[in-house]
Structure 1
Amino acid sequence: MTVNCKNGGMDLSFAANEADASTAIACLHGSLAALGVPHQRNCDVKIALAEAINNVVEHAYAGNPQGRVQVRATMDRNGLSILITDRGRPLPGLRIPDGIPASVETAREDLPEGGFGWFLIRQLCDNVRYDRTDGENRLRLSFAFSPAEKRPQ
């Protein structure tokens, strides 16, 4: 894993496997707190990042342990922007899933194990965009800060 911290942001690159993804998410969470991301928003960011990064590992790079994931986080006075890039498989239809959660109106033993990730990402982020260019997936997550949350510049 490589980490490059700079004024107002950081870049992180890691292997597309569960262990490195977990380490990267924890690293990002701690680093963003140090950059001044408000605590509650940092918790939201951690959940959204975990869902997005795990999707890359599990789906974009399924069966390809040689894949790499890059995360760039930049912060300004209005909020946080995160760009996740990979060269794995594209999202189906080249679009972000609708994020409709799986139904929980069923018996406990029949509850789904997944189907909530894109719902959570959409709920926690202020803006989510995806594009695929030259074989690269680019997922952008934006988190705005309320006036009370904004850090002084």
Structure 2
Amino acid sequence: MNLTPEIIITIIAAVLTLLVLIFVIDWRYFRDWIVVLLFKGLIDFAWGSPVVNLKLIDYPVRLLPHYYNTCILFELWVFPVLCVWYNQVTRDKNLLSIILYALLFSAGMTAIEYPIEVYTELIKYIEWSWFTTFYTLTITFLLSRAFIAFYRWGCDYFAKE
């Protein structure tokens, strides 16, 4: 196997995400985090494919290229785990903090993605920009936070006799 920069970045992203999952995530809230992980994976996968099919973004180097035209590592692993982390950090925060953390997480991810887009073949913007990445990430972080709040409310509400 030829270790290209794209393969090295892919391996590092997968391993770092696993380390976050093992050492950073507080698994006392297992039920919540599994729901966030599945919700984010579903949302990202459902939105990622149309974005690629509309030729807004391209992923020239990706896992399982014969089966998926999107970056499944990011959409089904990295972003959902980071979203769990975001929800953990904002678990007991007020609305302003929730929004600020969404902006911070999105800024950090955008700051990593943009050089990857410029210098590698992992992602190529066609009708996309770093700002589009930033605001779509922010929206999806906030959506996941709203969803888990709704989920917790529903669990509490329907658990009453």
* TM-score strictly above 0.5: no
Structure number with the higher strand fraction is: 1
Structure number with the higher helix fraction is: 2
Q: Which has the higher contact order (CA 8 A, sep 6+)?
A: 2
TM-score for both structures, normalised by structure 1 = 0.35
Structure having the higher Rg: 2
TM-score for both structures, normalised by structure 2 = 0.34
